[in-house]
Structure 1
Amino acid sequence: MTTILLEEAGPMLADLAKRVENGETIVVARDGKPVLDLVPHRPDETQRCTGIDWDAAYAYLRANGLDDPFPFVADDFDDPLPEDFLLRPLP
Protein backbone atom coordinates (compact mmCIF):
# COMPACT_ATOMS: atom_id res chain seq x y z
CA MET A 1 0.00 0.00 0.00
CA THR A 2 1.43 3.33 -1.09
CA THR A 3 0.78 6.70 0.60
CA ILE A 4 0.88 9.89 -1.43
CA LEU A 5 0.17 13.50 -0.49
CA LEU A 6 -2.99 15.08 -1.87
CA GLU A 7 -1.01 17.90 -3.49
CA GLU A 8 1.06 15.34 -5.42
CA ALA A 9 -1.91 13.15 -6.38
CA GLY A 10 -3.65 15.68 -8.67
CA PRO A 11 -1.07 15.84 -11.47
CA MET A 12 -0.42 12.08 -11.19
CA LEU A 13 -4.06 10.96 -11.29
CA ALA A 14 -3.80 9.09 -14.61
CA ASP A 15 -0.74 7.19 -13.37
CA LEU A 16 -2.41 6.46 -10.03
CA ALA A 17 -5.50 5.16 -11.85
CA LYS A 18 -3.34 2.70 -13.81
CA ARG A 19 -1.73 1.45 -10.60
CA VAL A 20 -5.14 1.02 -8.96
CA GLU A 21 -6.43 -0.84 -12.04
CA ASN A 22 -3.56 -3.27 -11.52
CA GLY A 23 -4.82 -3.98 -7.99
CA GLU A 24 -2.76 -1.58 -5.90
CA THR A 25 -4.39 0.40 -3.07
CA ILE A 26 -3.15 3.96 -2.70
CA VAL A 27 -3.74 6.08 0.41
CA VAL A 28 -4.03 9.80 -0.25
CA ALA A 29 -3.06 11.98 2.73
CA ARG A 30 -3.40 15.66 3.62
CA ASP A 31 -0.96 17.07 6.16
CA GLY A 32 0.25 13.53 6.87
CA LYS A 33 -3.24 12.24 7.77
CA PRO A 34 -5.00 9.71 5.51
CA VAL A 35 -7.96 11.27 3.72
CA LEU A 36 -9.04 8.66 1.20
CA ASP A 37 -8.12 5.36 -0.37
CA LEU A 38 -7.89 4.76 -4.09
CA VAL A 39 -9.07 1.19 -4.65
CA PRO A 40 -10.20 -0.82 -7.67
CA HIS A 41 -13.86 -0.34 -8.59
CA ARG A 42 -16.30 -3.08 -7.59
CA PRO A 43 -19.62 -3.30 -9.43
CA ASP A 44 -22.60 -2.48 -7.25
CA GLU A 45 -24.31 -5.77 -6.43
CA THR A 46 -27.72 -4.09 -6.12
CA GLN A 47 -27.55 -3.00 -9.77
CA ARG A 48 -27.81 -6.64 -10.85
CA CYS A 49 -31.05 -7.30 -8.99
CA THR A 50 -33.61 -8.66 -11.42
CA GLY A 51 -36.58 -8.55 -9.08
CA ILE A 52 -38.06 -10.47 -6.21
CA ASP A 53 -37.20 -14.13 -5.85
CA TRP A 54 -40.69 -15.31 -4.95
CA ASP A 55 -39.63 -18.93 -4.52
CA ALA A 56 -37.06 -17.90 -1.92
CA ALA A 57 -39.60 -15.66 -0.18
CA TYR A 58 -42.17 -18.45 0.11
CA ALA A 59 -39.47 -20.92 1.22
CA TYR A 60 -38.49 -18.48 3.98
CA LEU A 61 -42.10 -18.13 5.09
CA ARG A 62 -42.62 -21.92 5.12
CA ALA A 63 -39.39 -22.39 7.11
CA ASN A 64 -40.79 -19.97 9.71
CA GLY A 65 -44.19 -21.64 9.96
CA LEU A 66 -46.21 -19.44 7.59
CA ASP A 67 -47.95 -21.07 4.65
CA ASP A 68 -49.74 -17.96 3.38
CA PRO A 69 -48.27 -14.46 3.55
CA PHE A 70 -51.80 -12.95 3.57
CA PRO A 71 -53.89 -15.30 5.73
CA PHE A 72 -56.84 -12.90 6.00
CA VAL A 73 -57.92 -9.90 3.96
CA ALA A 74 -61.27 -8.35 4.85
CA ASP A 75 -63.90 -8.23 2.10
CA ASP A 76 -64.16 -4.45 2.44
CA PHE A 77 -60.37 -3.91 2.45
CA ASP A 78 -60.34 -1.72 -0.66
CA ASP A 79 -63.69 0.03 -0.11
CA PRO A 80 -63.47 3.83 0.10
CA LEU A 81 -63.09 5.25 3.59
CA PRO A 82 -65.85 7.42 5.03
CA GLU A 83 -65.50 11.09 4.16
CA ASP A 84 -65.03 12.13 7.80
CA PHE A 85 -62.52 9.33 8.57
CA LEU A 86 -59.61 11.69 9.31
CA LEU A 87 -61.83 14.23 11.06
CA ARG A 88 -63.20 11.92 13.77
CA PRO A 89 -61.31 11.62 17.06
CA LEU A 90 -60.07 8.14 17.87
CA PRO A 91 -62.26 6.15 20.30
Structure 2
Amino acid sequence: MPKYNVHEAKTQLSKLLERVAAGEEVIIAKSGVPVARLVPASPPKERPLGTEKGRVFIADDFDAPLPKDILKAFEE
Protein backbone atom coordinates (compact mmCIF):
# COMPACT_ATOMS: atom_id res chain seq x y z
CA MET A 1 0.00 0.00 0.00
CA PRO A 2 1.69 3.25 -1.09
CA LYS A 3 2.16 6.02 1.46
CA TYR A 4 2.17 9.76 0.68
CA ASN A 5 2.82 12.72 2.95
CA VAL A 6 0.25 15.53 3.11
CA HIS A 7 2.12 17.75 0.64
CA GLU A 8 2.43 14.93 -1.91
CA ALA A 9 -1.24 14.06 -1.48
CA LYS A 10 -2.28 17.68 -2.10
CA THR A 11 -0.14 18.08 -5.20
CA GLN A 12 -0.96 14.65 -6.65
CA LEU A 13 -4.60 14.25 -5.64
CA SER A 14 -5.87 13.53 -9.16
CA LYS A 15 -3.24 10.81 -9.61
CA LEU A 16 -4.07 9.30 -6.23
CA LEU A 17 -7.78 9.26 -7.04
CA GLU A 18 -7.04 7.43 -10.30
CA ARG A 19 -5.12 4.79 -8.35
CA VAL A 20 -7.96 4.44 -5.84
CA ALA A 21 -10.55 4.23 -8.64
CA ALA A 22 -8.49 1.35 -10.06
CA GLY A 23 -8.95 -0.52 -6.76
CA GLU A 24 -5.77 0.44 -4.91
CA GLU A 25 -5.68 1.76 -1.34
CA VAL A 26 -3.48 4.77 -0.52
CA ILE A 27 -2.22 5.93 2.88
CA ILE A 28 -1.72 9.62 3.71
CA ALA A 29 0.77 10.33 6.50
CA LYS A 30 1.59 13.42 8.54
CA SER A 31 5.14 13.56 9.89
CA GLY A 32 5.55 9.91 8.89
CA VAL A 33 2.51 8.77 10.89
CA PRO A 34 -0.42 7.35 8.88
CA VAL A 35 -3.53 9.50 9.44
CA ALA A 36 -5.85 8.62 6.55
CA ARG A 37 -6.55 5.88 4.07
CA LEU A 38 -8.09 6.46 0.64
CA VAL A 39 -10.13 3.45 -0.45
CA PRO A 40 -12.47 2.83 -3.39
CA ALA A 41 -16.02 4.06 -2.73
CA SER A 42 -17.43 0.70 -3.75
CA PRO A 43 -15.80 -2.73 -3.70
CA PRO A 44 -14.41 -3.96 -7.02
CA LYS A 45 -16.83 -6.09 -9.00
CA GLU A 46 -16.01 -9.76 -9.16
CA ARG A 47 -15.45 -10.96 -12.69
CA PRO A 48 -17.36 -14.14 -13.46
CA LEU A 49 -15.27 -17.13 -14.47
CA GLY A 50 -15.40 -18.26 -18.06
CA THR A 51 -16.19 -14.94 -19.72
CA GLU A 52 -13.19 -15.31 -22.04
CA LYS A 53 -13.77 -18.99 -22.80
CA GLY A 54 -12.93 -19.69 -26.41
CA ARG A 55 -11.20 -16.32 -26.84
CA VAL A 56 -7.91 -17.00 -25.06
CA PHE A 57 -5.61 -19.77 -26.21
CA ILE A 58 -2.41 -21.10 -24.65
CA ALA A 59 0.04 -22.91 -26.90
CA ASP A 60 0.70 -26.57 -26.11
CA ASP A 61 4.40 -25.78 -25.64
CA PHE A 62 3.74 -22.75 -23.39
CA ASP A 63 5.87 -24.10 -20.55
CA ALA A 64 8.54 -25.75 -22.69
CA PRO A 65 12.13 -24.62 -22.07
CA LEU A 66 13.29 -21.70 -24.20
CA PRO A 67 15.92 -22.27 -26.90
CA LYS A 68 19.50 -21.71 -25.73
CA ASP A 69 20.02 -18.63 -27.94
CA ILE A 70 17.05 -16.88 -26.34
CA LEU A 71 18.16 -17.83 -22.82
CA LYS A 72 21.62 -16.47 -23.60
CA ALA A 73 20.10 -13.15 -24.72
CA PHE A 74 18.53 -12.76 -21.26
CA GLU A 75 21.92 -13.26 -19.62
CA GLU A 76 23.64 -10.57 -21.69
TM-score between the two structures when normalised by the length of structure 2: 0.54
Which SS does the other structure have where 2:18 is aligned? helix
Question: Match of 2:47?
Answer: none
Give the number of the structure whose alpha-carbon radius of gyration is greater.
1
Q: Give unmatched runs, 5+ long, in structure 2.
A: 44-76
Task: State the distance in 2 between where 1:41 and 1:17 align.
Answer: 11
CA-atom RMSD in angstroms:
1.3
Q: Deviations over 1:18-74 (max 9, x none)?
A: 00000110000000000100100038xxxxxxxxxxxxxxxxxxxxxxxxxxxxxxx
Question: Match of 1:29?
Answer: 29
TM-score between the two structures when normalised by the length of structure 1: 0.45
Structure with higher RCO (Cα < 8 A, 6+ apart): 2
Q: How many corresponding residue pairs?
A: 43
Task: State the distance in 1 between where 2:19 and 2:32 align.
Answer: 21
Q: Give unmatched runs, 5+ long, in structure 1.
A: 44-91
